[in-house]
Structures are given as structure tokens and as C-alpha cells.
Amino acid sequence: QKEVEQNSGPLSVPEGAIASLNCTYSDRGSQSFFWYRQYSGKSPELIMFIYSNGDKEDGRFTAQLNKASQYVSLLIRDSQPSDSATYLCAVKGNFNKFYFGSGTKLNVKP
Amino acid sequence: EAGVAQSPRYKIIEKRQSVAFWCNPISGHATLYWYQQILGQGPKLLIQFQNNGVVDDSQLPKDRFSAERLKGVDSTLKIQPAKLEDSAVYLCASSFPGPRFDEQYFGPGTRLTVT
């Protein structure tokens, strides 16, 4: 079982819609949760992080964490074509180890 | 503020040859990470340094990979001898000390092709 699981996609949404990206993790002791955006041929860029249950909002992005279900999600409101990228979920587990999922590819269609 | 610097950006070698990658973190960042990202996969942590000490190298294939961070700043990652399956992008990341420890900033990466 992988430490972090994501649907590889692609997830296609029309411009202006809400994109919903999800990830599950296996380590119940995980402490911190991150979303990175990676454009094709580029390196990952941190866009959101969340430590506790509930929602965290930053502009058009909302991260949601449910520790009981070991589930993290990222909502992108008013999706733009420039949001088209691969979104990587990362988790800091026990012993401060970081694990990345394989990413979900998002396509926002004009 | 300058970002994480890496060199070279691209490298093509034959199997069984050796190769080295260099990383210069953001000034003041105490923690440095090396990741391997194979096409279509997420980054996999190879080694994590705190200043010049190793925090975690549990996923580093130590029979062929080595890394060092002299003086707690620059770092080099070496592969000797390289195998075909080492073809990947090698990413260096760094993070602040203290409360912002978890915010990792990635360099542009080195794309390695082993033929």
C-alpha cells in the first residue's frame, strides 16, 4: 500500500468551474499535509498546507482535511486554464518523513 | 531572494558511468532535501540534511548513491555506477528553520538520462 494515493486523472473541468482534487494517506500519525502544483517540465511549487482538521482557504484555493477518514482534498474555485497542471499531495508522517502522491493531472478547458 | 540552484540541468550518461549533481539552497535554509522523480510519479525522498547532518537516508540506495553537505550549505549527490532505472529528474529542495520548516522550495531539477 502506498503512503499517499491520488487518482492520476486527467480531471477535466470547464473554465470557471470548481475543480476538486483528492488524496488519501495510510499513516494515521501524519501531522502535516501539503498540495504542490507542478507544471509540465517544471519543479513542484507549494500552494497550500494544512495541519488540523477542517478547511483552510487561500484565495481561490481551499484545502480540506479529515483525519478520521485519512483524506485530504483541494478545491480550486473559478478554475482558469493557467491552473492546468499536475497537483501533488504530500504528507509528513512519523519521524518527519515526507511522502508524495503520484499526482492528479488537471485540465481546465477554455 | 534567489531560489534553489541546481546544476547541471541536463545530463546524459551511459550505464555504469558516474555522475554528480550540485545544489545550492536558499540562503538561511537549514534543511536540504534530495528527491528522485521518475516520469509519471511523485518525488521520492532520497536524503534529508539538517545543516550538515543526515536526518533521513532510508530510501537512498547506498550501494550506488552518496550525498554530502559540507559546511551545511551546498550539497552534492553522486551516482556510481549508474543504472538505466536511475533515469529521472533529481530535485533539490530546501526549507527554513523554525516554524516554516515544512515549506519546501524546489530547485529546477537535473534531468538524468542513462543509456
**pLDDT 10s digits, B14-32:** 999 999 999 999 998 989 9
Please, are residues A36 and A92 in contact by the beta-carbon 8 Å criterion?
no
Residues in chain B: 115
Q: How many CB atoms lie within 10 A of CB A42?
A: 13
Q: Do B91 and A44 count as a contact with CB atoms less than 8 A apart?
A: yes
Our CA-based measurement puts residue A56 at a distance from the nearest CA of chain B, in whole angstroms, of 16
B9 reaches A (C-beta below 8 A): no
| Local structure of residue B25 (DSSP, 8 states) | P
Tell if the CB–CB gap between B43 and A88 is shorter than 8 Å.
Answer: yes
Distances in whole angstroms, Cα of residue B29 to Cα of each of A51, A98, B25: 22, 17, 7
pLDDT digits (tens, 9 = 90+) for B32-63: 999 999 999 999 999 999 988 999 999 999 99
Average pLDDT, integer, range A71-96: 93
Residue of chain B whose Cα is closest to the Cα of A50:
B102
Chain centre distance of CA A37: 8
Q: Are B34 and B75 in contact (CB under 8 A)?
A: yes
Supply B48's cell numbers.
534529508
For A6-64, write each residue's pLDDT tens digit.
998 899 999 999 999 999 999 888 889 999 999 999 999 999 999 877 789 999 999 99
